[in-house]
Every structure is written in structure tokens, then in C-alpha cells.
Structure 1
Amino acid sequence: MAVWLVVLSLGSTGAHAAGTPGGEWVDNSLGLNVSSAILMAADTGQVLYEVNADAPRPPASMTKLMTEYIVLEEISNKRLSWDTVVTVSEEAASTPADGSQIYLAQGDQHTVKDLYIAMAVGSANDATIALADHISGTEQKFVEKMNETAKEMGLTSAHFTSATGLLDTTVISARDMATLARNILTKHPEFLEYSKIQQYKFRERDEDPMINYNWMLESNSSIQNFKQYAYQGVDGMKTGYISKAGYTFTGTVMRDGVRYISVVMNTESMGARFTETAKLYNYAFSTFEEKVAVPAKSVVESVEKVKLKKGVKTTVPVVTDADVSFYVKKGAEPKIELTAKQIPGEDELVAPIEAGQKIGTVTYTYTDEEGKKTEQTVNLVAAEPVEKAGWFRLTFRSIGNFFSDLFNGILDLF
């Protein structure tokens, strides 16, 4: 596979003030040579930096992240397994030769796992279409599934027209691409076991293994051709290139328990997409720290208890079910306020209640020094169980309430 040696010569980075054939670059405070970009905290989804992040652009092979997500969903839902054998369709075997592929022939049989690795590591278009065809019958039917999934995720800018990203009619914004990446990492962390594979021999007879297009992987730090791009903690996710997209990259990095997601769109070269991403990561690690505003299992002032009906008790204590945390600039005193709460009305919550049952939500808002607001909503859950009361207790409670209301009514007359 001499093609892998050719790509190594294409990684030089230069400087074009106007941009690239993929479009104009946008001025920004970090000096990124990109048309759009975003930096997001993986655990909370908080956006820490953005450049033109809502502009829909061709993502090229970053499109495959949606295909990879759907395959993982199919496996999670027991409709596929890693060992499922896929028979290569005519459509997959006839994939145009102008992109990455592993040269599948019609009728070839390979496991889902092997094809998935070919897609994740080598960005193989034919392997991608083989998986799409196996799941949906045709690539076009699979594309319909991609767009349905995008809608379910709330990706408002996304419009998929292929499973691979070869068509420049597929578009998505940097923000939505980061949201897709976050969904993958949250629901299917096993994805990283595949995205971080540095090289993989698809067939025993293959002369050379596939080499991961993600030169930024930490595992490349000892490889001569890639070590200038390797970055500590990088273990995913997906590169891409077509002329109208420029060189693109959705990446993720984790250090000391903190994970970030990044997207850069329309950089000028194979190497530049990693050097521009490194600027985002350097900014993240040097600038921000995570502040826990409200720890998990905390009692929220003014929402300590919620009224309920037909229980052995008339209220249930509630606590937060997770941390409320924000990424703030190091050394800053963050302004974090409780800005909204949603709890059931007096007659809406009915016993029995289980410990840990969701009762409502509270929303906190962080305002940074520039006035930008970031919200985080956390569930309120029952701190303890409340059993349903027996008829005897309920009867006497009703009688007591009757006389209490009667007495208060008499007092109101005076």
C-alpha cells in the first residue's frame, strides 16, 4: 500500500491569509487558520471557544462519525454483533477509487469488527458502504437513517447525502459535529478502543497495514513521521478531506480526567488540521479548570422537599442526582446562580415514590467575565422512598384536612 507513504509527504503547513480552496478563513483571537472551529467540554457540553461554529460546511470523511455511531447503536440494540459476517455488496465493491478504501470485491465476507476498524482507522469508503448496505439494504436507505438520527440528536444544521462524506452536498456545522462526537463518547465510550488504533492489517496477505489518518494520536509520539503532531492524551476521532471541505478534523483529548472535544474545518493541509487543533487544546489546558458548583446528592435551597399525595408522608426530600460543574478561567471567581426549577404541582406527585426517582429539575447559570451565559440542568431525585399510605391513614388525614380548612374558613370571616 504505497499510498500510505505518499500521504506522509503532504503534511506541510504554510500560511495563506485569505484561506484555501475550501473557503475563506475567519479572524479569531487564537489565530486559527480555519473557516470554523469549536472547543467543547465532553462531560458537560460547555462550549469554551468557537469560530463561526454554526455555519454548515462539508465535513468530508468526518461524516463517518455518524455511520460509526449508528453501527454502535445497532450492536447495542442486539441487531448486530462485532462477529456478524457481512457479505460485500455490489454497491460497496464499486466504490469510486478516488478516496480511501481497502479494495473489497463483491461477495467478500468480513466481520463487522474488521470493517468497522477499516472505517475508523483507514477511513475506508468501501468498508463504510458495506456496513451501511448490511444495515439498511442500500447506502441511500442508510442515509435516510443518518438524517433521522441527526434529527433525534437535535443536529439542526446536519444534512447527510452519503455514508462516507465523499459528496460535498453533505453539510454540518462545527457545533453539531461536536455534539455528534459527544453523543458517541457518552453513549459508546468503546468507540475510543477503535479510534485510537495506530495501525491495522486488514488481511494477512496485505503487504502493509492501514495507518490511522489521525497523526495526532498520542501513540504516534515515537513514530518519526508523525511525532511532530502527536499530542498527549489524544485518542480520537476522525479526519476528512475533499476539495470543498478543506482538511478537517474532529478530535478528542483527555488529561487528568478532563476530556475535551474539538472540531476544525477547512484547514490548509493534512498537518495543519492537527497544528490548529493543538492550539485549541493548549488554550484549554492552560486556561480552564473545572469548578463544581453543586455536588451530587446536594440539597438545593428552596427545593428541599416536594409535596405529594397518598403517601405515608406528605412530602418527599429531594437532592441533585449529579454534579453541577462549569469550566471557568483559572483563578476566576465564577458567578453561578440558580435560575430555574421545575417541580410537580401539589396534586401531581402521587406515592409510592422510590429512592432515586426523578422528581424535577433545577437549572444553574454561569456568567463569565465577558457576560457570556452557560446553563446546566440537573435532575432532582427522591432522597428516600415514600410508601403509599393505607386507607385508614388517608381517611383520617382527609378528616383532619376538612376540619383544618373549616377552621381557617371561620377565621377568615373575622
Structure 2
Amino acid sequence: MMLVLGLLYSTLLAGVGAAEAAPAVDTINLQGKAGILMDAESGQILYQKDAETPYAPASMAKMMTEYLVEKAVQDGKIKWDEVVTVKENAAKQIGSRVFLAVGDKHTVKELYVAMAVASANDASVQLAEFIAGSEEAFAQLMNETAKKLGMNNSHFINATGLDRADMPADYRPKSIDGETRMSAKDSAILAYHILKEMPEFLDVAKIPSLKFRERDTTETPNWNWMLESNKNVPNFRKFAYPGVDGLKTGHTSNAGNCFTGTSLRNGTRLIAVVMGVPGGLRDGKRFLETAKLFDYGFNNFGKQTIVEGKAAVKDHETLKVKKGKQTSVPVITASDVSILAPKGTTIEITETTVKSNQEPLMAPIKQGDKVGTATFKYNDPSTGEAKTLTVDLLAAEDVKKGSWWRLMFRAIGGFFSGLFNGVVNLF
């Protein structure tokens, strides 16, 4: 059950003293225009550098294309085994591609893997046209989706992340101005949604190389050189990082070197984004910079449970019930909730608010029914800013509907009690 109401995109650390501040970030010395480090479970931000400024993301924009393809499959609009016929726009793409030709036929899944592993512009465009009818219509869908996901500093003009000038002239968007732009924070938010809503994406993202056609004589390595599976590959060994299994690289002369990566270690998954990293495409510096972020997160933060699961909330152990055999029901949290906190710190809840789904609840109630929520307030240890976290409350036992006889006598008792109190208050 989802315990966090809404998707939290800001730091969820809390309540530590001045002597227990978050680890210093100045030691990271991140090289690049922008970067961010996010907890993939909660959306908690552990580090950021110019994270809300929109920059050219290059092929990292394909994460939105991947998201929308997966979404279309989930919603039953398309199927993985559907055969797609390649059209002119896709065949004319430049840059990373699998050299599709007009009339070629491939399944949705084949094109999707080509996009995710080989960063194929032609496969991306053909999938966009298959879903929306045209790449321009698909870009409009990308922008609409970005707003829904809370990506407030993003703008898409195509399915690939290419600059307008690099698109086939006849297929450049007419109703969408500007260039594709995305902030580091928005890139992390998009990765967050992919991992939450379609974790099976990682089964494709971690494929180490792609042989697109049976007749192809060579395989195209995954552009993500940080994949843990590369630890035994001589050319990529220095970039391989423990637990890395996605997500997406990006490079153009305008964007520089970009990367959105994710790593899972000891039960904690982080998302790291770097943008505008200087250097050449093949020097791998963007992966070394990403490693700095992962090192910072894994070395300095640890999970801390701030809400115990299946436990009563202090001073809010019950909720009122109407027309039941009992007048209240004991409630417990649905499960525990953990956040990342600087190692050695203690998180303290400063305020707790409980809200019933109905005031009062109406019998009958079954054990395990969601009957309310509890909201916990605490402070960000770095900024002192108040943060909140909301979890579901469940009924800890059944409450059967009271008999007519029981309810009548309860009402009579309530009447005389009220009458007595009214008389007392006269004196």
C-alpha cells in the first residue's frame, strides 16, 4: 500500500540538533552545470547543484518517451508484440540510431530496447509516431505529462532530445516553440516515476549490449558505462559502479555530457543526475562525476525508521465509531516508514495530526480497513524547514454494528448524561 500521500520531491530529513548537521557537500566538487542526488524510495533530495535550471538534456529526454511507451502498454493502448512499420521521419534521423529504413518492420519491444540500450533516435521517433500519430503530437503529450508529474522546468519539442536544427527539416514542430530543456531535478523526478510505476524498465535498461538484427555482425554496447555488469569489461571497468542498473545517458554539442543513473545498494536505491559535464563524449567523465554523488549518498546517509509499522500512534490510539457495538476502534499504522538521514543523527517528530476518514466512523468496520491518516511533522536538519509525512491508519480489530437495543440504551444514556451536565452547569 502506498503510505506516502503524494510524491515527495524535497528532503524528508528531520529534527536533529545543530551539532548533528547533514554531511558537508563542498567536498563533492561536482564538475558540470547541474546535478542532483535523490532517494528513489521517497523522493528525498540529498544534494543539488543548480538543480532547477532547465538545460539541454540531449538523450535523457528519451526517459519521457520510455515512460509514455510503458504507460501506453500498461493502459492497453499498444502491445509489446505489435509490429510497427518504419516511416520516413524515423529513417531520416541522425546521431545514435539502429539505421531503420522506410518499410522496415519491428515489434514495439524491439524498438523499445533499441531506444533504451542503444539510445536509438530512429526507434524513439517511430515509437512516438506509433503512439500519437506524429512526433509533434507526441511532444505535446510529453509536455502534458511533464506537468502532471510535477516537472515544472521542462519543455519537449521531440521524442529524442535532439536540437531542432538536427531534426529532419520536414518534421520539425510547427506548434511547439523553442528547444527541449529539462532541469536536473525534473530528470530525477521522471526517473523516480519510472522506478515507482514501471520498475520492470530496469530489466531492459541493464542489458549490456544490443544486437538489433540477426544479420548484424557486431553488438552495440549500452551507453551506460556505469552498469555493474561492466566490472569485468576492460574498456568500462573503471566506470562500473556497484548496484547501477539504469537509466539514461545524453550527449550533444549543445548539452555536453549528461547522465541520469540509479544504483541499489544494501536495500537503498539512489537516483543521480549530472548535466553539462565538460570533456569528450568518450572520456567517461560524466560517470566519474555521477560516482561522486553515489559515494556521497551511500557513505553519509542511512535509513532511519521514523514511523513504526503495525503500531499505535501515541495519544491517538483510537478513532470514534458511530452505531457500533463499541464507540471507538483501535488503529495502527499500515507499515513502517523509513527515510534517509545523516549517519549518527536522530530524527524527532515535532507534531502529530490524526484525521479520520469520516467523523465519526460508521460501523460496521473490518480489521485492516483504512480508516484514517496520521501526519507527522519534523524539521529538515540542513535548512530547519518543516516537513511532513502522511501514512495510512488501519483498523486493528472488527467493530460490528450495534443492535437496535444497544443503540437505544446508549442514546438514552447519552440523553440523561447531557441533561445531568446541563443541570450541574446551572449552579
TM-score, normalised to structure 2, is 0.85
Q: How does 1:4-403 map to 2 (within 5 A)?
A: 28-95=26-93, 97=94, 99-167=95-163, 169-269=179-279, 270=281, 271-332=284-345, 334-344=346-356, 347=359, 349-354=361-366, 355-368=368-381, 371=384, 374-403=387-416
Q: Residue 285 of structure 1: SS of its match in structure 2? A: helix
Q: Residue 252 of structure 1: SS of its match in structure 2? A: strand
Provide the C-alpha distance between the structure 2 equivalents of 1:413 and 1:300, rounded to a whole number of angstroms.
Answer: 38
**Alpha-carbon deviation of 1:28?**
4.9
**Alpha-carbon deviation of 1:268?**
1.1
Once superposed, what is the RMSD of the aligned Cα atoms? 2.1
Q: Residue 266 of structure 1: SS of its match in structure 2? A: strand
**Alpha-carbon deviation of 1:363?**
2.2
The match for 1:16 is: none
Aligned residue type for 2:230: N
Q: Residue 259 of structure 2: SS of its match in structure 1? A: strand
Q: Residue 37 of structure 1: SS of its match in structure 2? A: strand
**Alpha-carbon deviation of 1:345?**
8.0
Aligned residue type for 2:253: S
Provide the C-alpha distance between the structure 2 equivalents of 1:346 and 1:35, rounded to a whole number of angstroms.
Answer: 49
Provide the C-alpha distance between the structure 2 equivalents of 1:200 and 1:28, rounded to a whole number of angstroms.
Answer: 39
Q: Which has the higher contact order (CA 8 A, sep 6+)?
A: 2
Report how many aligned residue pairs link the two structures.
385
Q: Residue 395 of structure 1: SS of its match in structure 2? A: helix
**Alpha-carbon deviation of 1:351?**
3.0
Provide the C-alpha distance between the structure 2 equivalents of 1:337 and 1:105, rounded to a whole number of angstroms.
Answer: 60
TM-score, normalised to structure 1, is 0.87
8 A contact 2:205–2:247 mirrored in 1:
yes
Q: Residue 343 of structure 1: SS of its match in structure 2? A: strand
Provide the C-alpha distance between the structure 2 equivalents of 1:181 and 1:365, rounded to a whole number of angstroms.
Answer: 26
Provide the C-alpha distance between the structure 1 equivalents of 2:371 and 2:84, rounded to a whole number of angstroms.
Answer: 42
Bigger mean CA offset, 42-51 vs 319-328: 319-328
Q: Unaligned regions of 5+ residues in structure 2, if any?
A: 1-24, 165-178
The match for 1:7 is: none
Q: Residue 290 of structure 1: SS of its match in structure 2? A: strand
8 A contact 1:240–1:247 mirrored in 2:
yes
Aligned residue type for 1:119: M
Provide the C-alpha distance between the structure 2 equivalents of 1:295 and 1:167, rounded to a whole number of angstroms.
Answer: 49
Q: Unaligned regions of 5+ residues in structure 1, if any?
A: 1-26
